[in-house]
């Protein structure tokens, strides 16, 4: 399996298969406290602790335990248990749990009850995990440490049975005198054979059961990449000159490479192992899809990597019966070209429909119309003569939803746009909002502060999609 490096924040919110589904129960603001500061009668056993009154606020969902997650969405989900030792309005987490949720002690966060996804497998069939040593101030462990993989897997399974595990989650475990960190590197609700046949399968977390198979590997010596080196506080670090060795370990049975895979190479050298079933609608890849050779088929396509990635997102939605993704307008022309290259007719129709729909709404607008519609609650911007309808986007504006209506209406906002947008990434979204042009004869009527010529030159390089205005040569006029 591929090595796991460069692990970033635990956020898979874009995953289409398993999103955090929270019941219609109160979101409770809870202050995070360290579990080590709470005197509990029994071991937390991997649970997070809350006060019984907090539990009752979620009643009957939390009786006596339940799954909870950050209301904003978090990959890691923890079992909550009521304990009177926890102050009211607080949630007690150990260091590893704080790391996994990316929260800090004494800060307040909203938590909600988590509901496993319906109509999807949530019990884990297999878990892959990486083992490394953890050194605390009280314990010392150096040199070569050998652990029995079978016994460690059983110990891990017993301690975290019934808990939800997520990819990149880290868990602390003491086994035969050694302090260990177990980092989840793979979580599968389907076995390997079923995964080969499944289309649109994405699993990054699930419930650990007695039937779950656990495959452990030792962390490579000296590998400090990713989150594995920052699981706990600074006084908990992996010992230097130490190495953990896993023996008597469970391994997967050897399987020949799947014949259902085509390795698709893009024009910039990247490659995607893709199921043949997913590529079947691409008529120009028919020979690769129908190839019954005993080896994995390789094919090269004249499509950029990022564009082909979006093609696969579209194909997966089509294969699983989900609605087509609503790609941003500035991606449509590249997707259309890729669809023509691959012979993917449905994607061609999708792009042409979206582009045609955009063309149909393009027209010339008068200055009086812009003023009237803005007075009625619209949010139509004038930018170098372009008319942009941005009202539906205001809640998503990085600068806030009020700055545009307060400062940029009923004038040419090119100068404001230049001042507030240091990055040219914002140019990419203009096509999404573009609904036409200001009438040429009305341009002298529009108040404006002239932007720089460099800005206008760059702007026009990104806005070649603009509709032609007969008899008018676009040039910024500072009246």
Q: List Cβ neighbours of 85 (8 Å cut-off, separation of 6 or more).
A: 38, 39, 40, 41, 49
Per-domain residue ranges of the chain: 21-115, 126-247, 261-359, 363-462
In CATH, 363-462 is 3.30.499.10: no
Cβ-Cβ contacts under 8 Å for 20 (sequence gap 6 or more):
13, 69, 73, 74, 77, 114
For residue 45 the two structure tokens come to 């056993």
Distance from C-alpha of 165 to C-alpha of 69, rounded to nearest angstrom: 12
Per-residue pLDDT reduced to its tens digit, 368-418 = 999 999 999 999 999 999 999 988 878 877 778 888 999 999 999 999 999
How far from the centroid of its chain's Cα atoms is residue 164's Cα?
19
| CB contact at 8 A, 385 and 474 | yes
Ramachandran area for residue 73 (φ above 0: left; ψ -120 to 50: alpha; else beta): left
Contact residues for 367 (Cβ-Cβ < 8 A; gap 6+): 438, 439, 442, 445, 446
Predicted TM-score of the model (pTM) = 0.63
CATH number, domain 126-247: 3.10.330.10
The continuous run of DSSP H or E covering 120 comes out as: none
Q: Which residues contact 421 (CB under 8 A, 6 or more apart)?
A: none
Q: Is 24 helix (H, G, I), strand (E, B) or coil?
A: coil
Question: Measuring CA to CA, which residue among 174, 143, 139, 168 is closest to residue 156?
Answer: 174
What is the C-alpha separation between 344 and 386, in angstroms, rounded? Answer: 33
Task: Give pLDDT, residue 1.
Answer: 33
Q: Please name the CATH architecture into which domain 21-115 falls.
A: Beta Barrel (2.40)
Integer-rounded Cα radius of gyration of the chain: 28
* Rounded Cα distance, 149 and 213, in Å: 12
DSSP alpha helix (H) spans, 58-136: 95-101
From the number of C-beta atoms within 10 Å of its C-beta (0-12, 13-18, 19+), residue 478 rates as exposed
Task: Return d(Cα 242, Cα 139) in angstroms, integer.
Answer: 14
**191's tokens:** 């076995």
Backbone angles phi, psi at 432, to 5 degrees: -65, -30
What whole-number distance in Å separates Cα of residue 212 and Cα of residue 256? 23
Q: What is the pLDDT of residue 267?
A: 94
From the candidate CATH numbers 3.30.70.240, 3.30.710.10, 3.40.50.1220, 3.30.70.920, the one assigned to the domain spanning 261-359: 3.30.710.10
Listed as ranges, residues in the chain with pLDDT below 70 are 1-25, 41-44, 59-65, 135-143, 220-242, 255-258, 358, 470-479
How is residue 3 written in tokens?
A: 């090595």
Residue 472 pLDDT: 45
Separation between Cα atoms, residue 319 and residue 294, nearest integer Å: 25
| 231: nearest Cα among 323, 112, 136, 358 | 136
- Cβ-based neighbours of 423, under 8 Å, separated by 6 or more: none
In 390-442, where does DSSP find H-type helix?
403-407, 414-420, 430-433
Which own/partner pairs from 249-255 qualify as long-range (CB within 8 Å, at least 24 positions apart)?
249/149, 249/150, 249/215, 249/216, 249/217, 250/149, 250/150, 250/153, 250/213, 250/214, 250/215, 250/216, 251/215, 252/192, 252/215, 255/192
Question: With 0-12 CB in 10 A as exposed, 13-18 as middle and 19+ as buried, what is 417?
Answer: buried
Q: Which residues contact residue 315 at a Cβ distance below 8 angstroms, ignoring those fewer than 6 apart?
A: 278, 279, 281, 282, 344
pLDDT tens-place string over residues 328-359: 888 999 999 999 999 998 999 899 998 887 67
Please give the pLDDT value at position 60.
56
Token couple for 313: 């997102």
* pLDDT of res. 117: 82
Topology agreement, domain 21-115 and domain 261-359: no
* pLDDT tens profile 367-381: 999 999 999 999 999
Q: Tell me what pLDDT residue 223 has.
A: 56
């Amino acid at each position: 399996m591929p090595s796991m490096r460069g692990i970033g924040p635990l956020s898979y919110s874009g995953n289409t298969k398993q999103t955090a589904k929270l019941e219609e129960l109160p979101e409770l603001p809870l202050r995070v406290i360290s579990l080590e500061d709470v005197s509990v009668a029994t071991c937390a056993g991997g649970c997070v602790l809350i006060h019984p009154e907090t539990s009752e606020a979620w009643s009957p969902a939390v009786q006596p335990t339940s799954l909870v997650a950050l209301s904003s969405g978090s990959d890691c989900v923890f079992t909550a248990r009521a304990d009177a030792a926890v102050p009211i309005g607080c949630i007690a987490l150990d260091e590893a749990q704080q790391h996994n949720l990316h929260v800090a002690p004494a800060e307040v966060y909203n938590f909600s009850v988590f509901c496993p996804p319906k109509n999807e497998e949530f019990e884990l069939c297999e878990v892959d995990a990486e083992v490394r040593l953890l050194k605390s101030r009280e314990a010392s462990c150096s040199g070569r440490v050998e652990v029995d993989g079978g016994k460690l897997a059983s110990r891990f399974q017993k301690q975290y049975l019934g808990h939800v595990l997520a990819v990149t989650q880290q868990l602390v475990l003491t086994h035969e005198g050694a302090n260990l960190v177990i980092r989840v590197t793979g979580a599968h609700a389907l076995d390997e054979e079923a995964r080969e046949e499944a289309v649109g399968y994405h699993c990054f977390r699930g419930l650990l059961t007695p039937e779950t198979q656990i495959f452990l590997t030792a962390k490579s010596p000296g590998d400090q990449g990713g989150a594995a080196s920052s699981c706990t506080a600074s006084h908990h670090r992996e010992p230097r000159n130490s190495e953990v060795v896993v023996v008597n370990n469970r391994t997967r049975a050897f399987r020949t490479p799947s014949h259902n895979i085509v390795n698709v190479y893009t024009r910039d050298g990247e490659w995607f192992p893709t199921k043949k079933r997913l590529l079947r609608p691409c008529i120009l890849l028919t020979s690769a899809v129908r190839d019954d050779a005993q080896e994995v088929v390789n094919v090269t396509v004249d499509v950029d990597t990022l564009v082909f990635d979006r093609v696969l997102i579209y194909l997966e939605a089509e294969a699983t019966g989900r609605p087509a993704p609503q790609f941003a307008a500035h991606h449509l022309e590249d997707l259309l070209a890729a669809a023509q290259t691959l012979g993917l007719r449905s994607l061609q129709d999708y792009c042409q429909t979206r582009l045609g729909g955009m063309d149909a709404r393009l027209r010339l607008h008068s200055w009086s119309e812009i003023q009237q519609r803005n007075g009625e609650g619209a949010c139509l911007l004038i930018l170098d003569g372009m008319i942009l309808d941005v009202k539906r986007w205001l809640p998503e504006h990085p600068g806030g939803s009020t700055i545009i209506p307060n400062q940029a209406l009923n004038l040419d906002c090119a100068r404001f746009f230049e001042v507030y947008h240091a990055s040219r990434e914002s140019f990419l979204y203009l096509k999404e909002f573009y609904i036409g042009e200001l009438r040429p004869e009305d341009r002298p009527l529009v108040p404006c502060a002239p932007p720089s010529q460099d800005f206008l030159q760059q702007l026009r390089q990104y806005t070649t999609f603009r509709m032609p205005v007969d008899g008018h040569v676009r040039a910024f006029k500072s009246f």
